[in-house]
Homo-oligomer: A and B are copies of this chain.
Amino acid sequence: MSISERVLAGDIRAASRLMRDIDDGRPAATRELQALFPRTGKAYVVGITGSPGAGKSTLTDRLIALYRKQGKTVGVLAVDPTSPFSGGAILGDRIRMQDHATDPGVFIRSLATRGNLGGLSRATGDCIRVMDAMGRDVILVETVGVGQDEIDIAQMAHTTLVVVVPGMGDDIQAIKAGILEVADVFVVNKADLDGADRAVRELRSMLELRHAIKAPPMDHDAHHRMVMAKAHGLPVEAPVQDPEWEPPILKVVASRDKGVDELVAAVERHRVHLESTGERKAREQARAQMQFVAILRERLLKSALARLERERGHLAEVAGRIADRTADPYALADELASQLAE
């Protein structure tokens, strides 16, 4: 049996191997992903993002337990681009979520790809599809929400939880500002600490500020165009936001299992909202477009570089001529792209 056939049969070891190949950027993974593709699109993906120290792992752990209680199978992807050495992610697998280690209904993997140009978000998208093809009902994607990659990853989720904790400094709040736009549900975790109500108030006023800035609210068409522009890799003028969903702000103490039921209920309300407004379909389409553009981009570059090497010499030599200013990178790119325009 091929790797993809084994993945479709639910084989954990085959899935782990494929995800490792994806993380390592091995070309062979592409064929397997192509074979899996028709069987994807069924899982519900929940993103969990927030600063380090916000308690995301504990929260994820409690969400796993609740979804398991509902009889759902769960996949967990922990995305950790901050790990300094490549060993980080593997260690992460070992130390986190020990409780679920023996439950075959829970499949946990870490991902730490450090390639540039969207490599991390592409690998994450591919790993989500592997877990989806395995038949996992719910996929939890945990990221440290600080950079553009994390924002891209958050947009792969159907529902994105943004986790904050009371009493973090203003600087930390500033970091989080970038991910406000992708929040479908806010979680104030460690809500038994001082300042929980203040954190709720701050989030509420940030949401109101956003409303004030965006007045009049975007209509559905404008929103859809923007989702598409973002999927296309084009700069967008304003945040991609569902105009008909007001993100709830929930107080949770994950370590004592408080408020987690309400959180799962909020995720479910958001799922129903997405279905009933057609937003889920729009998001699936945006995601499909983003995925296609990423595949296309990589495939085109590979062919163009092969052609360049045939006609102009090795890429490093061409780069040397560009560095010397004896070759023009814009003219070279135009020339290689002209085959496509014919």
Asked whether, in the complex, the Cβ of B171 is within 8 Å of the Cβ of A148, the reply is no
How many angstroms from the CA of A178 to the CA of B149 in the assembled complex?
14
Q: How far is the CB of A242 from chain B (nearest CB, A)?
A: 17
**In the complex, what's the smallest C-beta–C-beta distance from A95 to chain B, in angstroms?**
14
> CA A153 – CA B275 in complex, angstroms?
40
Q: A101 — which chain B residues lie within 8 A by C-beta? A: none
| A76 to B270 CA separation, bound complex (whole angstroms) | 44
Q: Name the interface residues of A25-60: CB closer than 8 Å to any CB of B.
A: 25, 30, 33-34, 37-38, 40-41, 51-53
Complex alpha-carbon distance, A213 and B87, angstroms: 10
In terms of DSSP, what is the predominant structure of the interface of chain A?
Answer: helix
Bound Cα distance from A144 to B31, whole angstroms: 38
A222 within 8 A of B: no
A119's partner among B41, B178, B235, B289 (CB-CB below 8 A) is B235
- Mask of A319-338 contacts with B, CB within 8 angstroms, 1/0: 11011010011111110111
A213 to B84 alpha-carbon distance, docked (Å)? 11
Q: Which residues of B contact A293 (CB under 8 A)?
A: 301, 305
Q: Which residues A110-154 have CB closer than 8 A to chain B? A: 113-121, 144, 146-152
Of A190-198, A243-251, A279-287, the segment with at least 4 beta carbons within 8 Å of chain B is: A279-287
Please, how many residues of chain A have a CB less than 8 angstroms from a CB on the other chain? 103
Q: Is the CB of A323 within 8 A of B37?
A: no
Residue in B118, B235, B289, B339 whose beta carbon sits within 8 Å of that of A342 in the complex:
B339
When distances are taken between beta carbons in the complex, the residues of chain B under 8 Å from A118 are 116-118
Contacts of A147 in B (CB 8 A): 81, 146-150
Copies of this chain held together in the complex: 2
Bound-state CA distance A153–B84 (Å) is 17
A171 CB contacts on chain B under 8 angstroms: 51-53
Interface 9-mer from A1-9, A66-74, A225-233, A252-260:
A225-233
A330 partner, pick from B24, B34, B114, beta carbons under 8 A: B34
| Closest B residue by C-beta to A281 | B323
A293–B116 CA distance with the chains assembled, in angstroms: 12
Per the bound structure, the CA–CA distance linking A281 and B316 in Å amounts to 12
A330 touches B287 (CB 8 A): no
Q: Does A219 contact B (CB under 8 A)?
A: no
Q: Are B25 and A235 in contact (CB under 8 A)?
A: yes
Q: Could you tell me if A322 and B149 are in contact, using CB atoms closer than 8 angstroms?
A: no
Shortest A81–chain B CB gap in Å is 6
Q: Assess A284 versus B323: contact at CB under 8 Å? Given A120-B148, A172-B52, A328-B37.
A: yes
Known interface pairs A84-B181, A147-B147, A286-B319; 4 further A-B residue pairs with C-beta atoms within 8 A, sorted by A's residue number: A119-B148, A297-B297, A298-B333, A300-B336
